[in-house]
């Protein structure tokens, strides 16, 4: 069994996470309780053994091996092959021929935002294909009977009308039918609008400072002033730390449910802390959170041994040219006074620090807002941000998709156009300049999205040892009028040989569920269905890749992107034991069935963390909440723990 990470989980618990928890509470009671919880969880952490047999286990190793059995001990795969049994007192699960893949790695998500949602949050609304499905998900949340009287059932972010068949919001009357005795609040996308049921309407009509305007039909409008954000504010200021911990656990349960076992978080559209308050404000959108403190509840759970999916934390910095920072007598942009937050980050934060479950990443998805040379002050600040990262020997990312120029600027959107990769070229040229000045090849810089990158651009990035994580989330787009592909240009990306990952970029503008992206990359179909296109419309003609290639991007490619290819992304002896047992054979089912695949069993760190019960095993023993099970040897969470 190999151990490559420099810091053991136990050491991390003693140092980093506890320091973080103390900072949360300002010391005192919480610190003491975290210490005692940590001691307790340490005694329980003797991890159990697990053997899976009779499966079609796609290892994603170099030979493309498909095996029938794996054995897991101490959180790692110890045997991969046929008939693995060499583990004492192991729990044995008969897979009954099911298909297994490595735990999926989401290389571009805003997952920690999901872990901060106020209310009893229903992330599952993004899995609904129509309004009835949304209502069923809300009703199912209520049916768990754990939402106290007066507490909100909420669903925010990823569920936007364009992911549902009807392409509309549920109505107030429909929401009342789904949940009549608890207030319901839906907030669509990253910036609203919102919609409530009758009890939700009554609540928001009662609040002051600021007041919230609710339309007769339960709509709470976005726009300016954004009433949906004012409503969100009233829920956020009522959230307790325990509420946030519950929300973080719900987010982990959801990601395990859809098969993503590692989340590489890209922060949010961070506030410019030189000019803006970080506490909740009535004008903050869903994608605004205090980007220093939004990890606190998650880290507290981790310190208690209750974090059960993996998290890697990138830091996004959103300070562009800030006129307020120009010092008296200095000429704009006064570059030495700009980017104060990024400068402090690079001085005071450790990159890739933590343990196997929670660790930092580096800078992403950007170090400063992108600005072209036509915006001289903005460009100077963006360029300086690249230089600061290179000089500090940090990993860095930029986020550019490319697209199309209209040939005639007066033509309607989507009409005949030529490829526009100007912004990607600016990134490539700058990375080359950073290599020349500082050397960045060992740092694995990244480009997010890259949908329309040219062969030359990809070749140049590959030479610089950069990686790409591309957009799998375009499947709600309409076809282009000129018939050109919406993108990404998947075959070109694959053929370039560049380290390549696929992402959904959830949880504000799009869904978190990776099977939507895998379906899109392999079919090019959107979700606009009709009698003439019952499976959706072809919006990415000629740009499909194989299922094996797409799965590689969500496992090994993403592991490289996380700097974790020696530990994650394969079912191979010595690797961390993350895997997903699927309800259908991803490699063989029809396209339509493949889009609807869900895990029936998810294992992270050798523990069952999601179990629909199909294999009859039920969940592992719990290792949390109760105080008298110190000899517990299991530690999973399964059915009923969400
Ligand atoms: Zn993003």
* C-alpha 63 – ligand 1 centre gap (Å): 33
Weakest mean pLDDT among 122-126, 186-190, 565-569, 626-630: 626-630
**Confidence band (pLDDT; 50, 70, 90) for 40?**
very low
pTM of the model: 0.89
* C-alpha 530 – ligand 1 centre gap (Å): 30
* C-alpha 88 – ligand 1 centre gap (Å): 44
What's the mean pLDDT in 336-356? 98
* C-alpha 505 – ligand 1 centre gap (Å): 5
* C-alpha 191 – ligand 1 centre gap (Å): 14
Bond before 89 cis per omega within 30 degrees:
no
pLDDT above 90 as % of the chain: 82
* C-alpha 220 – ligand 1 centre gap (Å): 26
* C-alpha 506 – ligand 1 centre gap (Å): 7
* C-alpha 288 – ligand 1 centre gap (Å): 13
Q: Which two tokens stand for residue 369?
A: 């807002």
* C-alpha 403 – ligand 1 centre gap (Å): 17
* b/e per residue 178-212 (b: at least 16 CB within 10 A): bbeebbbbbbbbbbbbbbbbbbbbebbeeeeeeeb
* b/e per residue 514-549 (b: at least 16 CB within 10 A): bbbbbbbbbbbbbbbeeeeeeebbbbbeebbbebeb
* C-alpha 253 – ligand 1 centre gap (Å): 21
* C-alpha 263 – ligand 1 centre gap (Å): 12
* C-alpha 448 – ligand 1 centre gap (Å): 8
What's the mean pLDDT in 626-641? 36
**Confidence band (pLDDT; 50, 70, 90) for 365?**
very high
* C-alpha 364 – ligand 1 centre gap (Å): 9
- Cα 252 to chain centroid, rounded: 10
Q: Is 439 exposed, middle or buried (0-12, 13-18, 19+ CB in 10 A)?
A: exposed
What's the mean pLDDT in 398-421? 82
More confident residue, 415 or 168: 168
**Confidence band (pLDDT; 50, 70, 90) for 87?**
low
541, 588 in Cβ contact below 8 A? no
For residue 153, what are the β-bridge partners? 120, 184
What pLDDT is recorded for position 84?
A: 61
* C-alpha 407 – ligand 1 centre gap (Å): 29
- Cα 138 to chain centroid, rounded: 22
* C-alpha 487 – ligand 1 centre gap (Å): 17
Sign of CA dihedral 359, 255, 508, 290: negative
* C-alpha 446 – ligand 1 centre gap (Å): 13
* C-alpha 124 – ligand 1 centre gap (Å): 20
Residues 6+ apart with CB under 8 A from 335: 380, 381, 384
* C-alpha 468 – ligand 1 centre gap (Å): 13
161, 169 in Cβ contact below 8 A? yes
What pLDDT is recorded for position 417?
A: 83
* C-alpha 109 – ligand 1 centre gap (Å): 6
* C-alpha 108 – ligand 1 centre gap (Å): 6
* DSSP-derived 3-state class of residue 17: helix
* C-alpha 399 – ligand 1 centre gap (Å): 8
C-alpha 583/C-alpha 585 separation (Å) is 7
What's the mean pLDDT in 456-484? 96
* C-alpha 266 – ligand 1 centre gap (Å): 6
What's the mean pLDDT in 183-193? 97
Mean pLDDT score of the chain:
89
* C-alpha 269 – ligand 1 centre gap (Å): 8
What's the mean pLDDT in 513-526? 98
What pLDDT is recorded for position 48?
A: 66
* C-alpha 7 – ligand 1 centre gap (Å): 29
- Residue 297 burial (CB count, 10 A): 24
What pLDDT is recorded for position 482?
A: 87
Q: Ion ligand 1 — residues with CB under 5 Å?
A: 266, 505
What pLDDT is recorded for position 520?
A: 98
Is the pLDDT score of 27 beyond 60? no
* C-alpha 251 – ligand 1 centre gap (Å): 17
Q: What is the DSSP letter of 387?
A: H
* C-alpha 53 – ligand 1 centre gap (Å): 38
* C-alpha 586 – ligand 1 centre gap (Å): 26
C-alpha 623/C-alpha 204 separation (Å) is 39
* C-alpha 80 – ligand 1 centre gap (Å): 35
Q: Which two tokens stand for residue 30?
A: 């919480």
In 373-503, DSSP assigns E strands to 397-400, 403-406, 417-420, 446-449, 467-471, 500-503
379, 427 in Cβ contact below 8 A? no
* C-alpha 189 – ligand 1 centre gap (Å): 13
* C-alpha 598 – ligand 1 centre gap (Å): 24
* C-alpha 24 – ligand 1 centre gap (Å): 26
* C-alpha 450 – ligand 1 centre gap (Å): 13
What's the mean pLDDT in 520-547? 96
* C-alpha 558 – ligand 1 centre gap (Å): 15
276-313 tens-digit pLDDT: 999 999 999 999 999 999 999 999 999 999 999 999 99
More confident residue, 6 or 537: 537
Q: Which helix (H) or strand (E) holds 519?
A: helix 514-523
57-81 tens-digit pLDDT: 999 999 999 999 999 999 999 999 9
* C-alpha 129 – ligand 1 centre gap (Å): 23
Is the pLDDT score of 616 beyond 90? no
Is the pLDDT score of 14 beyond 50? no
C-alpha 396/C-alpha 9 separation (Å) is 26
The helix, strand and coil proportions of the chain, stated in percent and rounded to the nearest 5, come to 30, 20, 50
* C-alpha 155 – ligand 1 centre gap (Å): 19
φ, ψ for residue 30, nearest 5 deg: -65, -40
Is the pLDDT score of 33 beyond 90? no
What pLDDT is recorded for position 159?
A: 86
C-alpha 622/C-alpha 388 separation (Å) is 46
* C-alpha 427 – ligand 1 centre gap (Å): 17
* C-alpha 500 – ligand 1 centre gap (Å): 16
* C-alpha 267 – ligand 1 centre gap (Å): 8
Q: Is 102 exposed, middle or buried (0-12, 13-18, 19+ CB in 10 A)?
A: buried
* C-alpha 369 – ligand 1 centre gap (Å): 13
What pLDDT is recorded for position 410?
A: 74
* DSSP-derived 3-state class of residue 588: coil
What pLDDT is recorded for position 45?
A: 38
Q: Which range has highest mean pLDDT (80-84, 223-227, 619-623, 638-642)?
A: 223-227
Q: Order across the sheet with 99-102: list the strands.
A: 66-67, 56-58, 99-102, 579-582, 599-604, 607-611
* C-alpha 498 – ligand 1 centre gap (Å): 21
How would you write 226-256 as a 3-class SS string? CHHHHHHHHHHCCCCHHHHHHHHHHHHHHHH
């Amino acid at each position: 069994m190999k151990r490559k990470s420099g810091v053991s989980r136990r050491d991390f618990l003693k140092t980093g996470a506890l320091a973080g928890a103390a900072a949360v509470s300002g010391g005192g009671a919480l610190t003491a309780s975290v210490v005692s919880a940590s001691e307790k969880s340490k005694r329980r952490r003797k991890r159990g053994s697990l053997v899976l047999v009779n499966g079609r286990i796609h290892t994603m190793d170099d030979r493309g091996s498909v095996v029938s059995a794996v054995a897991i001990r101490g959180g790692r795969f110890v045997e991969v092959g046929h008939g693995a049994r060499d583990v004492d007192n192991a729990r044995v699960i008969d897979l009954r021929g099911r298909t297994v893949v490595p735990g999926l790695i989401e290389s571009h998500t805003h997952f920690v935002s999901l872990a901060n949602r106020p209310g009893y949050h229903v992330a599952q609304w993004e899995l609904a294909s129509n309004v009835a499905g949304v209502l069923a998900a809300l009703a199912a949340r209520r049916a768990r009977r754990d939402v106290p009287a007066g507490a909100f059932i909420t669903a925010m972010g990823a569920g936007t009308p364009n992911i549902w068949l009807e392409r509309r919001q549920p109505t107030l009357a429909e929401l009342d039918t789904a949940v009549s005795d608890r207030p319901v609040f839906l907030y669509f996308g990253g910036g609203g609008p919102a919609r409530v049921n009758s009890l939700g309407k009554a609540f928001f009509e009662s609040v002051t400072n600021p007041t919230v305007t609710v339309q007769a039909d339960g709509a709470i409008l976005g726009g300016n002033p954004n009433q949906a954000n004012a409503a969100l504010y009233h829920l956020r200021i009522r959230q307790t730390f325990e509420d946030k911990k519950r929300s973080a656990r719900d987010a982990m349960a959801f990601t395990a449910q859809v098969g993503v076992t590692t989340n590489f978080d890209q922060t949010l559209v961070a506030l410019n802390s030189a000019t803006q308050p970080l506490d909740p404000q009535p004008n903050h959108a869903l994608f605004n959170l205090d980007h220093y403190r939004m990890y606190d509840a998650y880290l507290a759970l981790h310190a208690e041994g209750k974090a059960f999916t993996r998290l890697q934390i990138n830091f996004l910095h959103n300070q562009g040219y800030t006129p307020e920072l120009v010092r008296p007598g200095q000429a704009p942009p006064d570059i030495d006074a700009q980017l104060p937050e990024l400068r402090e980050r690079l001085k005071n934060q450790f990159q890739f620090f933590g343990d196997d479950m929670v660790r930092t990443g580096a800078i992403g998805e950007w170090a400063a807002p992108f600005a072209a040379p036509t915006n001289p002050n903005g460009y100077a600040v963006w360029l300086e941000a690249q230089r600061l990262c290179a000089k500090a020997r940090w990993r860095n990312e930029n986020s550019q998709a490319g697209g199309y120029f209209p040939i005639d600027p007066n033509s309607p959107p989507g009409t005949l156009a030529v490829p526009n990769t100007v912004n990607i070229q600016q990134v490539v040229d700058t990375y080359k300049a950073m290599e020349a000045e500082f050397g960045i090849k060992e740092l694995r810089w990244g480009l997010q999205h890259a949908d329309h990158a040219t062969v030359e651009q990809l070749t140049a990035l590959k030479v610089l040892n950069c990686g790409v994580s591309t957009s799998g989330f375009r499947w709600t787009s309409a076809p282009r009028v000129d018939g050109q592909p919406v993108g990404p240009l998947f075959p070109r990306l694959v053929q370039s040989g560049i380290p390549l990952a696929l992402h959904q970029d959830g949880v504000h503008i799009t869904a978190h569920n990776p099977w939507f992206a895998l379906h899109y990359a392999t079919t090019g179909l959107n979700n606009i269905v009709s009698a003439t296109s019952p499976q959706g419309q072809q919006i990415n003609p000629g740009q499909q890749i194989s299922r094996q290639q797409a799965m590689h991007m969500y496992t090994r490619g993403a592991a490289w992107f996380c700097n974790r290819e020696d530990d994650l992304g394969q079912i191979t002896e010595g690797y961390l034991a993350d895997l997903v047992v699927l309800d259908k054979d991803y490699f063989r089912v029809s396209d339509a069935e493949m889009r609807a695949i869900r895990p029936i069993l998810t294992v992270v760190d050798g523990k069952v963390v999601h179990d629909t019960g199909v294999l009859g095993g039920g969940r592992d023993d719990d290792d949390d909440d109760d105080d008298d099970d110190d000899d517990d040897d299991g530690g999973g969470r399964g059915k009923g723990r969400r």
